[in-house]
Amino acid sequence: MNKVRITTACIAVLTGAANANLIVNGSFEESNLNPGGAWIPLGGGDASITGWTTIGAGIDYMGTVLAASDGTRSIDLNNVSSGGGIAQTFSTISGWLYTVEFDLSANMYGGPTPKVMEVSAAGQSAEFEFDYVAAGSTAQNPAWERITWTFVGNGSSATLAFEGISGGVYGADIDNVVVTGVAPTPGPLAAFAALGLLGARRRRG
């Protein structure tokens, strides 16, 4: 009976962990900075946005000058040029499948060219672009598209990075980042093995 209770409890814990957002401050609302109705340019290596660190050439921390998809703040991945971005490191389990969801738009002050960005984690990456003209965006009220991307964990942690790869000052915008993890087939048993719980049960049997 004790084994059943332990297994049930472990399943509940793992299910809760899988469903929880592993990212801190995914909508970029928490910061000691306040962009207000404008934006604040941040160079690389800046940690002013809670949970995140800017990378490369940095980003523009957008206020209400560009309507966010969630809350009042978002990130323009281009600062002075392309090659900027933002990143956060979080705990992972090797072999688990992680789903990254985020809202994608673009700062349309820079002309009609589609804006391109890259998302990466654990040595895996993908590129996405947003054509705000086709999406019907206006300068202050951009359309947003929900993007889903997955990667497989390959260690005890992974760094999720979003980078702008369009040229120019105005780039792709992101908001509302959510990351969840799911144990590989055969489900909870694989997770127990990863956490050493199956071995613990055998020794107790």
* Identity at 57, one-letter amino acid code: A
Asked whether residue 66 is assigned to any structural domain, the reply reads yes
- Provide the total of helices (H) and of strands (E) in the chain, helices listed first: 4, 11
Mean pLDDT of the chain: 84
Asked whether residue 179 is assigned to any structural domain, the reply reads yes
Q: pLDDT > 90: what percent of the chain?
A: 64
Asked whether residue 71 is assigned to any structural domain, the reply reads yes
Confidence of residue 193 (pLDDT cuts 50, 70, 90): very low
Mean pLDDT across the stretch 186-204? 45
User: What Rg value do the Cα atoms of the chain yield, rounded?
Assistant: 20
**pLDDT of 18:** 59
Non-local (6+) Cβ contacts of 205 within 8 A are 3
pTM metric for this prediction: 0.82
For 159-184, what is each residue's pLDDT tens digit? 999 999 988 888 999 999 999 999 98
Lowest average pLDDT, out of 8-12, 38-42, 105-109, goes to 8-12
Range of the domain at 130: 22-184
Asked whether residue 92 is assigned to any structural domain, the reply reads yes
For 89-130, what is each residue's pLDDT tens digit? 999 999 999 999 999 999 877 766 789 999 999 999 999 999
* Range of 36-45, 127-136, 178-187 with top mean pLDDT: 36-45
Number of folded domains that form the chain: 1
Confidence of residue 57 (pLDDT cuts 50, 70, 90): very high
172 in Cβ contact with 116 (< 8 Å): yes
What CATH number does the domain containing 62 carry? 2.60.120.260
Asked whether residue 14 is assigned to any structural domain, the reply reads no
Asked whether residue 198 is assigned to any structural domain, the reply reads no
Mean pLDDT across the stretch 14-21? 63
Q: Is 16 exposed, middle or buried (CB count within 10 Å of its CB: 0-12, 13-18, 19+)? A: exposed
Rounded CA-CA distance 38/90 in Å is 30
Instruction: Identify which of 37, 42, 192, 161 has the alpha carbon closest to the alpha carbon of residue 90.
Output: 161
> Does 69 have pLDDT greater than 90?
yes
Tokens at 4, concatenated: 């059943």
DSSP 134-162: HHT--SSS---EEEEEEEE--SSEEEEEE
Asked whether residue 203 is assigned to any structural domain, the reply reads no
97 in Cβ contact with 182 (< 8 Å): yes
**pLDDT of 111:** 67
Mean pLDDT across the stretch 25-50? 97
Tokens at 119, concatenated: 């998302």
Q: Is 25 left (phi over 0), alpha (psi -120 to 50) or beta?
A: left
Identify the bridge partners of residue 56 per DSSP, sorted by sequence position. Answer: 84
Asked whether residue 103 is assigned to any structural domain, the reply reads yes
28 in Cβ contact with 75 (< 8 Å): yes
